[in-house]
Structure 1
Amino acid sequence: KKSSAPGKNKPPPREPYHALQHMYLAVMYGLLSFKSCFVDDFNAFFSGRIGWVKVQKFTPGEAVAFWGSKALWAFYYLWLPFKYSHRSLGQLLALWTVTEFITGWLLAFMFQVAHVVGEVHFFQLNKDNKLSKGWGEAQLMSSADFAHGSKFWLHFSGGLNYQVVHHLFPGVCHVHYPALAPIIKAAADKHGLDYCVYPSFLSALGAHFRHLRNVGQRAYVPSLQTVG
């Protein structure tokens, strides 16, 4: 996609290391669980923001639930194994690191293949700070599905392999997504809109890393912030 195309973000500064992002991000994605648990949660609590999105201030009850859940997690996941396991501290730390990396990879890959691939669109707001596309159209154009018809991925991903359906119908249980997808596809075809579906998770993952490589090796690097 060319930077002059309408509706695309203006290119942010490009650094030389972006040319290798399709390599080092494959490893760094494993840090997502660490970042979410030890950085993002506390940042949201104290700053009142998740990224650039402002969130409501925690009520006293929510604050108790936040700190209580953190304490329970540390007690169950860290203190109990360290206290009662026959494994050494080094072995437990190694096991904990491996499990957190696997969690980070699963989280990152599941969301990146849905939004950061070459076949979806990256939007910018117009001069009135609004999106030129309708809400539903933006959800469709900025998301991608994979492995339609797979009962395994429907269950394992919690329906996130139907990301388009998830965005359009966030209040609907994911078990109904396979029935809704053909209806959305028919509506998209009727209005001349693309509904991006990869045949498998591996094909979607490959598309993600190809996209990282492509944008990293060109002067134009679209923002990875998508609509919705």
Structure 2
Amino acid sequence: MPVYFNLQSMQVMYLGRYWRDIVWVSSFYIRYFITFGPFYGIFGTVLLIYLVKFLESPWIACVTQMSHIPMKMSREENRDWLSTQVLATCNVEQSFFNDWFTGHLNFQIEHHLFPTMPRHNYQKVAPLVRSLCAKHGLQYVNKPILKAFGDIVRSLKKSAALWMDAYYET
């Protein structure tokens, strides 16, 4: 998966002529090889890059899925942009650990509303978003991290049951 994702990203940048992005991505790999190449060699450094990506993948999946998958959002409902962003995501309660573990992406609602805002500022804008949601009658979901993880499992279990019913239907 990490190999495909990197190749696909480079292809999109090349075909879209995103030269600045290509320079930045290339500079990452150049710096990576300058830093680790003398210790591990070329093959070892490539292996390290993909080992880190392999270990990072479950983390990013958990962080993003606990804020998206459990939300019940109907595609048939015609909603405005604000309502869609708020109702399609949820937050995980703010704490030192949650901020660190999620990289401040525990403020997923704010992330969807202000995608270019530096993540460490989400907690500053959260009270304003909460009041905006209250003003427009939108539910602002903020849950403990263990409940968020449990919601992932419950959602996957529900999806598996639907698939099993459809697959084994006689």
**TM-score calculated relative to the size of structure 2:** 0.74
> Cα distance 1:41–1:61, how it changes in 2: closer, same or farther (>3 A)?
same
> Cα distance 1:193–1:64, how it changes in 2: closer, same or farther (>3 A)?
closer
1:44 aligns with 2:3: no
2:116 corresponds in structure 1 to 171
> Cα distance 1:178–1:61, how it changes in 2: closer, same or farther (>3 A)?
closer
Asked if the contact 1:136–1:168 (Cα under 8 Å) also holds between the matched residues in 2, the reply is yes
Query: What stretches of structure 1 of length at least 5 have no aligned partner?
Result: 1-34, 50-54, 84-88, 222-228
Q: How many residues of Structure 1 are paired with residues of Structure 2 in the alignment?
A: 161
Superposed, which structure 2 residues align to 1:20-169 within 5 Å? 35-36=1-2, 38-46=3-11, 48=12, 57-74=16-33, 76-77=35-36, 79-83=37-41, 99-117=52-70, 120-124=71-75, 132-148=78-94, 150-169=95-114
The structure with higher relative contact order (CA 8 Å, sep 6+) is: 1
Deviation per CA, 1:92-122: give whole Å up to 9, x if none: x7x88765443222111111111111xx134
> Cα distance 1:60–1:197, how it changes in 2: closer, same or farther (>3 A)?
closer
CA distance in 2: counterparts of 1:211 and 1:219, whole angstroms: 12
1:209 aligns with 2:119: no
Structure 2 residue identity aligned to 1:135: W
**Deviation at residue 72 of structure 1 after TM alignment:** 4.0
Percent identity between the aligned chains? 22
Structure 1 residue identity aligned to 2:149: L
**TM-score calculated relative to the size of structure 1:** 0.58
Query: What stretches of structure 2 of length at least 5 have no aligned partner?
Result: 166-170
CA distance in 2: counterparts of 1:147 and 1:197, whole angstroms: 6
**Deviation at residue 132 of structure 1 after TM alignment:** 1.9
> Cα distance 1:220–1:160, how it changes in 2: closer, same or farther (>3 A)?
farther
- Partner-residue secondary structure (3-state), 1:218: helix
> Cα distance 1:180–1:81, how it changes in 2: closer, same or farther (>3 A)?
same
Asked if the contact 1:45–1:58 (Cα under 8 Å) also holds between the matched residues in 2, the reply is no
Deviation per CA, 1:68-90: give whole Å up to 9, x if none: 4334435544x43334xxxxx8x
> Cα distance 1:195–1:72, how it changes in 2: closer, same or farther (>3 A)?
same
> Cα distance 1:182–1:220, how it changes in 2: closer, same or farther (>3 A)?
farther
Greater helix proportion: 2
